[in-house]
Amino acid sequence: MREVRARPLQVFVDRLASHSPLSQEECEAVLSLPSTAMKVPARRDLGFTGNTSHSAHFIVSGLVARYSLTRNGARQLTAFHIPGDVADLYSLVRPGGVAPLHAITETTALCIPHEAIRRVAAAYPAVAEAFWRHCAIDAATVMKWLVNISQLPAAERMAHLICEMAARLGTEGLPAISFDFAVTQEQLGDALGLTAVHTNRVLKALRNEGLATMRGGKVEIHNWTTLAAYAGFNDTYLALETHNSSSPHANDLANAIR
């Protein structure tokens, strides 16, 4: 833990501004939020005391998973968080019901005290709404995972997750067709509700079908259109680039697929 260099929250502001219109002053208010940096090695939880939280965690770098455990030890991942996300912004309104966060790769995060966030949200309604929307997009993603896990066969679920990560990691409204995604097959299975064995078989099938390859922590999408069609992927729920989009046609393209 150490005090942080100038403007570390710029990426967060960019993310908020991508889905919510914010004035210069409002951006400044978010940028000036106090924060403390923490570095978490791979395969460790970001520490909470118990399951009660007093600060939110902004992801600067790394890959983080939110998860839940069941009685019999089964693990279900409920989100992947990438740089620019505040992994547990919802903890502001549900401090006693936070799910644990696990650093999949080495992660740098900024802890932002709830009171500071609440102060900014109270002073700037548009910022409060942006925070709320940030949470709502996360909720929409969870709902999509619910529908997919419940209704899609394993291979389509896998393809959909790959599309989702590609869309989120992409820039300028275009999905990333090649990106780092350093999850093990077991973690991937925990996200998709599959065993590691079946995850392996599904990845093999996607590879053989020429849709996507996932190996050594990297994803290669062979043909975005084909993969997205196979997965039934439509990026609307991610609310990417609805404001100030420099390439609005990209969304149209993705939407047209389905």
Partner DNA sequence: CGCACTTTTGACTGTGTTCAAGTCCTGTGG
Partner DNA sequence: CCACAGGACTTGAACACAGTCAAAAGTGCG
Nearest distance from C-beta of residue 143 to DNA, angstroms: 19
Contacts of 91 (CB under 8 A, 6+ apart): 53, 55, 56, 98, 114
Q: Does 165 bind DNA (CB under 7 A)?
A: no
Alpha carbon distances (Å) from 21 to 17, 125, 129, 174: 6, 12, 10, 21
Binding residues for a copy of itself, rule CB under 8 A, total: 44
- CA–CA distance, 221 with 25 (Å, rounded to integer): 40
Q: Does 153 bind DNA (CB under 7 A)?
A: yes
Nearest distance from C-beta of residue 6 to a copy of itself, angstroms: 29
Nearer to DNA, 14 or 180 (CB): 180
CA count, 13 A, side-chain hemisphere, 180: 8
Nearer to a copy of itself, 115 or 180 (CB): 115
As given in the structure block, the two tokens for residue 125 are 């309604």
> What part of residues 186-225 is at the interface with DNA (CB under 7 A)?
186, 193-198, 200-201, 203-204, 215-216
Phi, psi of 2 (to 5 degrees): -155, 160
Binding segment for DNA (CB under 7 A), chosen from 81-89, 129-137, 152-160, 224-232, is: 152-160
Q: For a copy of itself, what does the binding mask look like between residues 188 and 207, x meaning CB under 8 A?
A: -----x--------------
- CA–CA distance, 256 with 258 (Å, rounded to integer): 5
Nearest distance from C-beta of residue 214 to DNA, angstroms: 8
Nearest distance from C-beta of residue 144 to a copy of itself, angstroms: 8
What separation, in Å, do the N-terminal and C-terminal C-alpha atoms of the chain show?
46
As given in the structure block, the two tokens for residue 115 are 């009171």
Residue 14 CA, chain-centre distance (Å), reads 15
Asked if 166 and 219 count as a contact pair (C-beta separation under 8 A), the reply is: yes
- Amino acid letter at 141? T
As given in the structure block, the two tokens for residue 117 are 């966030």
131 binding partner (options DNA, a copy of itself, none; Cβ < 5 to 8 Å by kind): a copy of itself
Where does this chain bind DNA (CB under 7 A)? 153-155, 184-186, 193-198, 200-201, 203-204, 215-216
Site residues (vs a copy of itself, CB under 8 A): 68, 70-71, 74, 76, 78, 90, 92-94, 96-97, 99, 118, 121-122, 125, 128-129, 131-133, 135-140, 142-143, 145-147, 149-152, 193, 232, 236-237, 239, 242, 258
